[in-house]
Chains A and B, each alone.
Chain A
Amino acid sequence: MKYLQKMLVLLSVVLLASTTAFAEVPSPKIPKGNAEQCVEPTQEMRVNHMEYILHQRDETVYKGVRTKQHSFKECINCHTVKDDAGKAVNFKDERHFCNSCHTYAAVKIDCFECHASTPTAKKDGKAHAGINSLIKMTAAESNNNE
């Protein structure tokens, strides 16, 4: 009986410790994109964004396909994080969309050794409106198909 009591106490201590530990596990602060929704479902993008980017990379480099749906440029345009001064932060900043999670997951990426990590200033400022209307168009098309 005494043994059982001891075990129960131990178990509760472990449980308590683990719940406290879970609460203290730091989670990445992922900034929200600027469009209403991402080009694919959020869960899908969390798991497979690199596949989409890699696929589109070869389509663009070798076949000259420059659609906006999975383009790296549009990722950057939409997932801009601005600092207090209203200027888009680059990949070296921990607030940067890609950096916020990749630092957390300790996955080093070298995309930004070549690619711009902030949007190039647009004269018409239509970048975000562009992707929003694209999503609406795609949604409308899929509705029509159903």
Chain B
Amino acid sequence: MSKSEAASNGLSRRKFLGASVAAGASVAPGISLISVANAKPVDQAISDEKRWGMLIDTNKCAKGCSACVDACNTENGLNTGDEQNSRQEQKAQWIRKVDLRDKLTGHEVSLPLMCQHCENPPCVDVCPTGASFKREDGVVLVDKHICIGCRYCMMACPYKARSFIHEELTNQVENTPRGKGTVESCTLCVHRIDEDTNNQRDPACAEACNTEGHKAMIFGDLKDASSDVSKALKQHSSKAIREDLGLNPGIRYRGI
């Protein structure tokens, strides 16, 4: 690639050289260079240079399909053991399918709803201990070490995205520590996205949706203009649920 070509791609000489070094000589030129250069080594702290988010295309989401919900439950070991004894409304629910029907036209859409990873999360505002927090890369989490289980955040969340663990648990999944008396919600599979380039994977729900062939969930870095999710957001109109609240969620939807 000549100097002028690199410049026409919007890369400065310095940035282009940096990308080449990080990507190695064997990588084909183009987009892959940039994505590899932006990857986080596993020992490096997250930063606000990224904001993880997702675009969910409700036109592609199949009614009756629960692949994302099942994948989430398996990945995080939800509703196993004693939790199966919980009442239906008490069971852990990190992601759920919602079917909507327009009364006027009869048009139906189906969509997965989970923690929307707001830029201004109400759950963080109300938490009395600071357990509910937003990571620098935009992922909203509960630090269960300091959660006292008061459940204010559950009431503050307009998306009803959080669950409370009612039962004593054993045999948790190693990537998802969870225990009685704490509140929890979708983590965007942080244990997957924090890994280094070679091992980094999409959240379990998005991965399952792709495997199922629907490809309704595009996950990626909203601040990286070259990421699939940013490109799709630029190309198509999308909406946040309850945009009127001004929370600026990281999860956005098409077709609602």
Chain A interface residues (CB < 8 Å from chain B): 57, 59, 61-67, 73, 76, 90, 92, 113-116, 118-120
Known A61-B141, A113-B168; further 6 A-B contacts with Cβ < 8 A:
A61-B143, A65-B194, A90-B170, A115-B174, A116-B172, A120-B174
Kindly provide the distance from the CB of A138 to the nearest chain B CB, expressed in whole angstroms.
12
How long is the Cα–Cα vector from A115 to B172 in the complex, in angstroms? 6
Complex-state Cα separation, A55 to B133, whole angstroms: 18
Task: Say whether chain A's binding surface is mostly helix, strand, loop, or mixed.
Answer: loop
Whole-angstrom distance between the Cβ of A50 and the nearest chain B Cβ: 13
Which residues of chain B are within 8 angstroms of A61 by Cβ–Cβ distance? 141, 143, 145
Number of cross-chain contacts by CB at 8 Å: 59
Interface residues of B in 162-176 (CB under 8 A from A): 168-175
Contact of B195 among A66, A92, A116 (CB under 8 A): A66
A67 to B45, CA, bound (A): 11
Q: How far is the CA of A13 from the CA of B169 in the complex (A)?
A: 53
Residues of A within 8 A of B190 (CB): 64
User: What 1/0 flags go to B122-166 for Cβ under 8 Å of A?
Assistant: 000000000001011100010111000000000000000000000
- Take A61-B145, A113-B179 as given contacts and tell me if A67 and B42 are in contact as well, using a CB distance cutoff of 8 Å: yes
Cβ contacts under 8 Å, B246 to chain A: none
Given contacts A57-B145, A114-B178, A114-B182, contact A65 B172 (CB under 8 A): no
Q: Which residues of A contact B44 (CB under 8 A)?
A: 65
B46 contacts A by Cβ under 8 Å: yes
